[in-house]
Amino acid sequence: MTAPLKLSRFYEWGRKIVGVGRNYRAHCAELGNPVPKEPVLFLKPTTAYLPEGKGPTRGPPGCTELHHEIELGVVISGGGTNIPEESAMDHVGGYVLALDMTARDYQNIAKQKGIPWTWAKCFDTACPISEFVPKEKVHDPQDLDMWLKVNGEVRQKTNTNDMIFTVPYIISYISKIMTLERGDLILTGTPMGVSGVQPNDQLEAEIEGVVAMKFTVGDKL
Ligand SMILES: CC(=O)CC(=O)C(=O)O
Ligand SMILES: [Mg+2]
């Protein structure tokens, strides 16, 4: 008999990673992007997963501007299509602290050319994650203090109540376009303060009182 799949190991299941972009006003402003009227969505492949302790995060070949983006990650426990916002939280199994590592140089090129963000967002190790936090340990996902330091210096700091689109809204919105499945991860967008990192930089991040993690930046892939 095979062992039951544990939700805490969701990153081994091969389910999708859905990214939400531009979900904090100050972050839209710092990159000169308009504040969206609807969530901006993109996908990352599951080969981007990098659980803590499994090595460094690395930019794609030729990348000259690798940025950190700290984000609250929402892990789906019960799938569905056309999920109503009112019951969306019933589909959440837990959370992770995540980094949506982004090759900003490639993203800027993609924006200019009007082509997808694949080189910018989808490279191996582009999604470092903390250990899984069961839903019961988070009182309110819309009231979490989180921060990221590079070599001990705070670069990003926010409370998730600054999100433009809330977790239930995002779940409902995504599920109108694609079926959400048990084990999917949603990255809910990054706050202000994204900045470039270099090989050997030490990244430290925390959702205060909930979970913390550390990663090193490695050489390019
Ligand atoms: C500009 C971006 O990279 C969008 C994004 O991922 C975000 O978190 O915002
Ligand atoms: Mg992001």
At residue 42, the pLDDT reads 98
pLDDT tens column, 178-218: 999 999 999 999 999 999 999 999 999 999 999 999 999 99
What is the distance between the alpha carbons of residues 143 and 187, in angstroms, rounded to a whole number?
Answer: 16
Kindly tell me if the per-residue pLDDT of 71 is higher than 70.
yes
At residue 1, the pLDDT reads 65
What is the distance between the alpha carbons of residues 15 and 92, in angstroms, rounded to a whole number?
Answer: 15
Ligand 2 centroid, distance to 207 Cα (angstroms): 16
pLDDT tens column, 90-138: 999 999 999 999 999 999 999 999 999 999 999 999 999 999 999 999 9
Question: In this structure, which residue's CA is closest to atom 6 in ligand 1?
Answer: 21
Pocket-forming residues, ligand 1, beta carbon under 6 Å: 19, 21-23, 27, 31, 69, 100, 102, 107, 189-190
Q: Say what the ipTM of the complex is.
A: 0.98
User: What's the predicted TM-score (pTM) here?
Assistant: 0.98
The Cβ-side half-sphere exposure at 154, using a 13 Å CA radius, reads 8
Ligand 1 pocket: which of 70, 162, 190, 192 to mutate (most atoms within 8 A of CB)? 190
Q: What is the DSSP code string of 30-98?
A: HTTPPPPSS-EEEEE-GGGEEETTS--B-PPTT-S-EE--EEEEEEESS-BSS--GGGGGGGEEEEEEE
